Structure 1
Amino acid sequence: MRFQLLGPLGMSDGSDTVVLQPSKPANLLAALLIHSGTLVSADYLQRMVWGDEQPATARAALQTCVLRLRRLFTKHGVLDTPIEAVPGGYRILADARSLDLVDFRTSVTQAAGATEPESELAMLRVALSLWQGAPLTNVRSAAIHRDEVPRLVEERLRAVERGCDLQLALGHFGQALVELWGLTRAHPDHGRFREQLIEALYRSGRQTEALAEYRRYQQYLDEELGIGPSAALRALELAMLRGESLGTPAEPPGARAAAPAAARPKPAPALPPVPWFTGRARELAVLAERLGRDAARQEPVRELICGAPGIGKTALAQHVAHLLGDRFPGGALLARLTGTDGAPRPAAEVGAELAARRPDPAAGRALLVLDDAADAEQVREVLAFAGGGAVLITSRRKLAGLIATHGGRVHRLEPFAARESHALLASVLGAERLAGDAAAARDLAARCGHHPLALMIAAARLMTRPALPLADGVRWLAEDPLARLSLPDDPGLSVSRVLSSALKRLEPDLAEAFLTAGRLPSPAFHAADCAGLPGFAGAGAEAVLERLADAGLLEDGPPGPYRVHELLRLFARRTGHGRVRPREKV
């Protein structure tokens, strides 16, 4: 069964489609599917279902809505996409096969990685064919249409915009014009479509029509919005009035004729691909769209990837940089902000490294990846050396201070979903080996806590023992997970080593508080459960827990409970043995 969001909300089994009637459960399903694979808080769901003015019984009514949805799933044979109750809210797990939105985002991301413009255009057309009209037209939730639908529409428009750019680059001016006439009338405020239309007219030899279209748009901006055309449009107008060449179609509107090929600087190489990279489809799609869009527009952009140690931040950043290599002719530079000893590197040292490795500025815009940032101040100082441009930052911390002063978006990584864990294991060990013992494969992922680093290490160890039955390998791992989630020939690839390094970065009192939290009876707890325990004395328990969450060692927080990942709990119990004695509950 496949869910449909990119049009009326519905379910399809390939032959029949059920379009859901407007109802509160339909509102709930739409809100869950939009955030598929992530925890959706009960407060958010109540707002999406009932709006900002919620009834006093909203929490209980939400549980009733979930029950009605589960009955609907049973009625229509939905077995692979359950609604899970998790601390603080609910979660639905859907992949590209079961949800058109995930399929669309995955296809757009894959298109961005194409090496030929014809291939990228073909892949984008496949992605856009998933749209069946305006999204969620049968969902009667003002909050969803206010807060979520515009973001979905924007994703589609960015893909359409990129497709039109590719048509212009390939010289398909007639095809582009057919599409752009309708787009500019349907979206009069979307300036890039108007630029593309004027450019397509001019490149088709229709200078008079191009200038007339420019004048109509100029009048619209003045009368409706009280603003003038963009700098790019004014440059395009000047080039048209002078009868100048616009250069190669791939260049931005208004660009002058390109320099001879022999005079162009050689582009810097992109970052290499990440071996065995799987999962993170949603984050990949969002990052590729934002960085790719801003690369084309020459706008500065900053994106932060944060999360727990070993959760895959660097891998995601490097993979995004690799996929977008063709969007940044100046190449991608990766600078590590933490030394091998775990200490933050001085900004001047990082700046000198960047200056030495930076390609010729004439090569074009570059993407800077700042890996493993210690805190907001360190990044601010490094940015002073980096100049303007696109910057992708990874950090265990959320760096809220940096976002407040320099802007940007935050992408917090959580452990893999079950399907992502399976995909990683299958890519390393082979689908045939997993299919031979599916239960053991699921058990292996669970033993690793769906933690990317742990999964990668476990898969690597099993890959070197092809004759070992998977179930035997899982039992061997379960005997001492922390000791065996490491590679003997590469000490750096060790869950214990990575977590020990994270612990050493904390102040002593904060490290003691983490060990305390990790040894509490339950992995989920509130601040009141920690009051007065070692590491929490003399400070508000919630403030301490917030610092641990900011460091990537705890998940979630107020108003819901804090949580410690099972591998971190195991590490805390072993590390803190004899040092921390949690208060016994009466």
Structure 2
Amino acid sequence: MRFQLLGPLSLADGTETVVLAPSRPTNLLAALLLHANGVVSADYLQQAIWGEEQPATAKAALQTCVMRLRRLFVKHGVTETPIEAVPGGYRIGAGPRTLDLIAFRDQVARASTEHEPEAELHLLKDALSLWQGATLANVRSDVLHRDVVPRLVEERLRAVERVCDLHLALDRCGDALVDLWDVTRAHPGYERFHEQLIEALYRTGRQAEALAEYRRIKEYLLDELGVDPSPALRRLELAILRGDDLGPARSGQGAPGRLALPAPPPAAVEPRSPLVAPVPVVPSFTGRAAEVAAMTARLTEPRDEAVTVLLSGAPGIGKSALAAHVAHLVRDAFPGGRLLVRMTDPHGAPRAPGEVAAEIAAALRDRRAEDRALLVLDDVTDAEQVRPLLPVGPGGAAVVTSRMGLAGLIATHGGWVHRLSVFAPQESHQLLHTVLGPERAGAEPDAVRRLAELCGHFPLALRIAAARLLTRPELRLADGADWLAGDPVARLALPDSPDMSVDRVLAGALGRLDPRLAEVFGRLGALPPEFRAEDCGGIEGIEGADEAEETLERLADSGLLEAGPPGPYRMHGLLRRYARRSAERSVERTAERTAERSVERNADRTRPTEKV
């Protein structure tokens, strides 16, 4: 029996295929399969099944859904992939033989290792043949279609892009056109496909059609997005107007008689695990000059022993961006490679050290022993998670990012600590000027200052605000600031990138805490920006001075408060807004639960009793 996700969710057995009817168990199965072989939390599964508006009985109803799904498995003879109840949630195991998504990814990974273009093309076509229509068309889960399906579509588009690259390199422009007509119309904003289509048309003698296609995509980009075509598209138009030869490069650049193929897309050359990848370049990085200088000096100084640098601070404060930026600056000092290692899964759950260590070893297996490597261990949840991964080898280095203080790690393994706070005002202004452009930002300096204040000088919030404004080039910055001021926490989000949301990031941070701590954090939003433990006497959930200090210390260690004894604690402006919003939601949920219980009690009183 085989599960199929790359199309309507279905069960296939030989030539027979059963498409599952839309239902809550179908939503549940999709959520489990999309994260096969990993633990999927009960909270996430409840969101996948019911969305944001979950019933009061969601926890019990989830167990009922699991029972119904197991009965469905029995009905269809599914015996090799049981649903396991594990601490924190559920898990389903699968492999390339039982799940088409895993088979697709395995085929793409195998293709990336092929040196012969024909063999690579064959593997990629086999992989793409597994897609059987609109992904999860029969799954009625807004959460999955919002958070997961776009990533799957992106994986498919990268494979299609590579297939078309190979067709063009093999001088099979006609074969490339078959795919390109469809994907350019289905995904008009994917410029690389238009570039390939224009090249294929021109190389098959259809110069007028190629130039017409260029004008069409140029008009689309200007009208719909307010941007010009990419430099690659503009260079292609110029080459066509000049009548340049765009035929494939032949022997002389590689082995005799072999084609010089374009490099595979980035996803094809990354390690097999999407959670261990080459460190990316951070676009338009600004600020943190002191930290950049100190980290660069410490990572590049001659030494034999390994070095550890810890970046801690609040969620959204820019730890990951700083780590990646510095890793790029010191690349020449680490010929063994620089890896970004995500220490949490896509749901925010901590990953097991053994699993991470195995993936790191696989990614660095071709490294020479004498070549130093740099690991960016991103979003570490506690000291125990990272201790087994340190030290990283003679002369190597690790940059650890964490919302937690991880003082215990530094006590046992040493290293340097940089606790990041919000940007200074001039750093915020510099970021907005860099991203928005000096002309637009310079024309409205007061609006730039107001935007920075509304964002609380948080790097994540600033980048979200700048990205929204970039996609609206005709909007005055002052008008954008007025709109943002209405509800900064909710409006600092990008609709097409769920992870780029202040509300979502902070909710995820609170979700890792003890629920009592999260409740207290919300109530602290009612206090002034600076306060001491003795000011918390009236806060529900805190009893006595000792408990107040312990609670505030734990919140400070989690990056949600700053400073502390002997001075006052501080809560940054954006976090205070979120804390008040969180407290309001808690009150609303309590009122709803009280109302539901009242309705249930009234129903019990009015229900007729049976006569014995």
Return the TM-score normalized by structure 2. Answer: 0.50
Deviations 1:404-432 (A, max 9, x none): xxxx9999753679xxxxxxxxxxxxxxx
| Correspondence for 1:22 | 22
Q: Aligned partners of 2:330 and 2:207: how far apart in 1?
A: 44
C-alpha separation in 2, matches of 1:173 and 1:285: 33
Tell me if 1:393 matches 2:393.
Answer: no
Which of residues 281, 284, 309 in structure 2 aligns to 1:300?
281
Amino acid at match of 1:286: P
User: Are the counterparts in 1 of residues 3 and 99 from structure 2 also a CA contact under 8 Å?
Assistant: yes
Alignment correspondent of 1:443: none
Which residue of structure 1 lines up, in the alignment, with residue 318 of structure 2? none
Q: What is aligned with 1:200?
A: 200
Structure 1 residue 64 displacement after superposition: 0.6
Aligned to 2:309: 374
Tell me the residue number matched to 1:39. 39
Structure 2 Cα separation of the partners of residues 74 and 20 of structure 1: 14
- Structure 1's 88 and 498: CA in aligned 2 closer, same or farther, altered over 3 A? closer
Corresponding residue number in structure 2 for 1:286: 274
Measured after TM superposition, the shift of residue 245 of structure 1 is: 2.8
Which residue of 2 is the match for residue 439 of structure 1?
none
Identity of aligned residues (%): 52
Q: Report SS of the residue matched to 1:286.
A: coil
Residues 4-44 of structure 1: CA deviation (Å, up to 9, x unaligned): 10111111222322211111000010011111111111111
Deviations 1:41-94 (A, max 9, x none): 111111110111111111111111011111111222222211111222111111
Query: Does the 8 A contact of 1:283 with 1:411 survive in 2?
Result: no
Secondary structure (helix, strand or coil) at the match of 1:244 reads coil
**Count of matched residue positions in the alignment of Structure 1 and Structure 2:** 360
* CA distance in structure 1 between the partners assigned to 2:236 and 2:16 by the alignment: 49
Q: Is the 8 A contact 2:168 2:200 kept in 1?
A: yes
Q: SS in structure 2 opposite 1:150?
A: helix
Residues 58 and 167 (structure 1), Cα distance of their counterparts in 2 relative to 1, 3 Å cut: same
Deviation at 1:188, TM superposition (A): 1.8
Cα pair 2:299 2:307 within 8 Å, conserved: no
| 2:71 matched residue in structure 1 | 71
**Contact map agreement 2:44 2:347 (CA 8 A) in 1:** no
CA contact (8 A) 2:4 2:100 kept: yes
Say whether the 8 Å CA contact 1:111–1:123 is kept in structure 2.
Answer: yes
1:240-255 to 2 correspondences below 5 Å: 240-246=240-246, 248=248
Distance in 1 between the 2:48 and 2:87 partners? 19
Return 5+ residue gaps in structure 1 as ranges.
251-257, 268-280, 303-344, 354-370, 401-407, 418-449, 457-496, 513-524, 529-535, 548-586
Whole-Å Cα distance in 2 between the matches of residues 200 and 108 of structure 1?
A: 24
**1:121-270 → structure 2 map (5 Å cutoff):** 121-246=121-246, 248=248
Structure 2: how far apart are the matches of 1:210 and 1:59?
A: 57
**TM-score (normalised: structure 1):** 0.52
Query: How far has the Cα of 1:237 moved from its partner?
Result: 0.6
Match of 2:352 in 1: 414
Deviations 1:136-169 (CA, angstroms, capped at 9, x unpaired) = 1111222222222222111111111111111111
Alignment check: 8 A CA contact 2:170 2:248 kept: no
Q: What is the aligned-residue RMSD (CA, Å)?
A: 4.9
Partner of 1:383: 328
Report the CA distance between 1:381 and its aligned residue. Answer: 4.0
Q: CA deviation at 1:220?
A: 2.3
The answer for unaligned runs of 5 or more in structure 2 is: 261-268, 284-293, 312-321, 363-386, 393-399, 401-405, 413-512, 517-546, 560-612
Partner of residue 425, structure 2:
none
For residues 341 and 273 of structure 2, what CA distance do their matches in structure 1 show? 20
Whole-angstrom CA distance in 1 between matches of 2:241 and 2:555 = 63
- Distance change >3 Å, CA 119–CA 287, structure 1 → 2: farther
Q: Secondary structure in 1 aligned to 2:84?
A: strand
**Counterparts of 1:386 and 1:500, CA distance in 2:** 20
Relative to structure 1, the CA distance from residue 411 to residue 208 in structure 2 (aligned partners, 3 Å threshold; closer, same or farther) is: farther
Q: Deviations over 1:277-308 (max 9, x none)?
A: xxxx99716379x87xx9xxxx8369xxxxxx
Partner of 1:583 in structure 2?
Answer: none
Alpha-carbon distance change, 161 to 412 in structure 1, aligned in 2, over 3 angstroms: farther
Task: State the secondary structure of the residue aligned to 1:90.
Answer: strand
**In the aligned structure 1, how far is the partner of 2:221 from the partner of 2:324?**
39
Give 1:543 deviation, angstroms: 6.0
